[in-house]
Amino acid sequence: MHIVDEPIETIHVYMVREEDKQPYTVLPLLAALLCLAMIAGITVYSGQHPAYEHQTLTIPARFLPLKVFRAEAPIIPTGIKTYPATYATGTLTLTNGSVLSETLPQGVIFNGVNGVEVQTTESVFIPPGSAAGYGVATVPARAVVTGKGGNIQTLAVNAVYGTALYVRNMSPFSGGNGAYSVSYQLPKDRQTAINLARTFVASQKAQVLATLASPCKEIVNNEPAIVNLIVNCQFAIYKVPSFMRVSAAKLVGKNFLVDVSFIPPVKTVWLR
């Protein structure tokens, strides 16, 4: 048998240690962030919605000096009274130069100056003239048209009636006016003014930062065209610590019953 000597081959074997697998870190990181967010949310919510305690306190009232409010309001009349036009009236003097008497019926019209006409309102008898003098009579008359135009002056009527009868007004006519209206106060007008003055006082009272201790007392001064209102009021105040929030307050006698809410102070516990 033929033996063949072959060269010896050296084989080198190297042992390489595998690296350790890194743990998966994303999920724990997300969980940590979520926890932090929850803690922050709870902290913010707790800051915005603290736990309040509610109590009703009895606090002595401090009564302020008497406060006086004043207000005025005009009385505006709403009543209206209308007066009709009137006739000017006066007296006519009739002089008879005839030896015969004469009678004038009611409603005879005589012309005056500026076209004004006057009319007798009664019939009249005029005696005759004689050697002793003229026969004289007077008769009431009025202007034919209403208004101030009928207020004629003396001798505005100077006329001859017939042949021997002279007609004159020896004094002015007066009383003629056109139709007119006047306003006057009704009982409700004064009450309206009082209510308006009370509104002014109410706005003044609303500016007082205190509680009304008792009903106010009113004094109304009645004047012809204005209402003068004087109101006397008694107020009271109370004081609570600044960290308390007041939700309601009621004055009972000399004390206030005050509903308050507040955040109780943190209690510190010392451990040994």
- The pLDDT assigned to 1 comes to 44
* pLDDT at position 208 over 50: yes
pLDDT tens for 223-245 read: 899 999 999 999 999 999 988 89
* pLDDT at position 134 over 70: yes
What CATH number should be reported for the domain whose range is 85-178? 2.40.30
Structure tokens at 197: 């003055």
Q: State phi, psi for 102 to the nearest 5 degrees.
A: -145, 150
* pLDDT at position 16 over 80: no
Domain ranges of the chain: 53-76+186-262, 85-178
Report the percent of the chain where pLDDT is more than 90. Answer: 69
pLDDT tens for 87-106 read: 999 999 999 999 999 999 99
